[in-house]
Structure 1
């Protein structure tokens, strides 16, 4: 451990603020923090919404704050060691919450899938986060951070790659209200890496087919990158980086009649299954990784809470506004997710 890391260690009982705690993913995050022995502070726009989420009955401290009210945000983050932002669209919320975190001198993480939000967080707050010695990590969820960690773990000793291809398969996508609102507002042109530079995805987007283990089988994919692209491109030298989403998932999320997630167990998880396949090439060498799990919203909670716990214990490589894989050791991080994520790798 470096002296810089030692300066930011918190006790295991540190308080972690959760902005947007009453949302679908926010509730999973609050529960996961409690399971890990951390003290969540649930922050929402109104006390009524926080009460509806059942936080007072569970002994979770609740605080009100609106994104437009800097003073209220400052009060809401008082005594917290870190803040997790679960309130999208993040292009509208991230800047205010990051600024509040920096005023408080605490760490910031969010779960954005939005490329513009990730880029804005890095561009606007990189210098201030580095100066403050805190971690500012956008997109620390299923979309964004997970792929960033998977790519870093698969790269291992490789310093660069010719191509990275990420395929995300969902057997269904029952979107939350927040997902729908974000999709309606996020109309910016999506970016991939082509020729070593961030460029708009070609139109019409490329399609391809692949066979994955059950329950997926043969899948058709369409190029549709999320927040993983600006994360990975920031710290890995790649000539081509492209992300594909299964057309089954895309059809569901674009259908206005598709219902929201339905819980099937006491944890609140839905029956949705996911698979993320990563294929990396370097010359004639090819590496492949397949990660599988259940419920993209629910799995975001252990991912981001593992990040918070590592930051607060000082188990990090660096601070500042950086991608997850630049802050954490990707291999041990993924291993720590345990039963939440089944990961298999191969090399040819």
Structure 2
């Protein structure tokens, strides 16, 4: 592939896209091509960059017309930060494969993986074309499946794992759409737990007023066994996994529950509720993983705690990391989840030295 072709960042002026661009730019990885439906926003963002990084240009792209093909024709790899991912689905990935372009998706969880791995093509098609697709390269899913592997890889006999993920953050309309649609068995099961090699429904209750090091104030944790957590449990052959979604404020949790109950697909209410929580409690995000090794009695054997102000920056970190690994040839052709192909320890070590996050292991 032409090494002078661009690394395209679709949605590169959004919350996650700008974080990806800045990281690749500062690392001198390029040339970069920032793309989206609003070239004026893209130009303004590019103009804000200092003069010490890779070459950057801008292109107007609409996912639903021929401009997507003209964009991909200029690329050797594309990082998809456009959303909402439930609407984008495999549109960009399929076009990337047609053009022989490697693909990294900051979101793109199980529904996208299923589409790209469908019988009669999919994952085999990517491998046959010697092209690579890395999905779920964000904070959640992504780091949420990668970081607990640091603990699991160092344990002789892991028997129990708990995960707590969430906080308080503003929602972009695209992110609100993904939150709203992140339900159903293709995403996970509320109140479920992983017990003795299988999913057990209605096994857990919400935990209210919970105090954990990952979060600066007491939080409410709702049990939700994500498909990512279930895959991790199967891969690690761990007996018990309890997984929780954490809310640090009241408004978003209430608005989301109401939207799900009413089968509402409008995102404005979620955006406003998230903003109300941020005004009251500030913006913060955390992930905490607690592992029991040998026995599940008593306190956890090891704990990994991640704290950050901005989950979008965390997604940018992992997407840029995945892009760098693909460009370096460290990920084999085919369709993969980021947590399955990035090295847990080296990724955690890099994150621990990054100013966007604080990572502790005990």
TM-score range, shorter chain: 0.7 to 0.9
Q: Is the aligned partner of 1:72 residue 2:63?
A: no
1:336 corresponds to which of 330, 340, 350? 350
Corresponding position of 1:220: 220
On the 8 A contact 1:143/1:226 being kept in 2, the answer is no
Q: Deviations over 1:27-67 (max 9, x none)?
A: 2222222122123211213434534x533675732223322
Cα distance between partner residues in 1 of 2:340 and 2:323 = 14
More displaced stretch, 152-161 vs 289-298: 152-161
Q: Is the aligned partner of 1:237 residue 2:230?
A: no
SS at 1:322 equivalent:
strand
RMSD, aligned CA: 3.5
Corresponding position of 2:27: 36
Corresponding position of 1:110: 105
On the 8 A contact 2:143/2:339 being kept in 1, the answer is no
TM-score (norm 1): 0.78
Change (3 A) 1:188 1:21: same
SS at 1:142 equivalent:
coil
**What's the CA shift for 1:222?**
0.9
**What's the CA shift for 1:112?**
1.8
Unaligned runs of 5+ in 1: 1-7, 264-269
Corresponding position of 1:27: 18
1:298 corresponds to which of 294, 313, 316? 313
Change (3 A) 1:343 1:81: same
**What's the CA shift for 1:76?**
0.7
On the 8 A contact 1:83/1:106 being kept in 2, the answer is yes
On the 8 A contact 2:214/2:307 being kept in 1, the answer is no
Unaligned runs of 5+ in 2: 50-54, 256-268
More displaced stretch, 250-259 vs 95-104: 250-259
Cα distance between partner residues in 2 of 1:278 and 1:24 = 26
How is 1:51-130 mapped onto 2 (pairs within 5 angstroms)? 51=43, 53-55=44-46, 60-69=56-65, 71-112=66-107, 115-123=110-118, 125-130=122-127
Cα distance between partner residues in 2 of 1:214 and 1:233 = 22
TM-score (norm 2): 0.76
1:278 corresponds to which of 289, 297, 319? 289
2:174 corresponds to which of 178, 185, 198? 178
Change (3 A) 1:243 1:143: same
Change (3 A) 1:19 1:107: same
Change (3 A) 1:90 1:196: farther
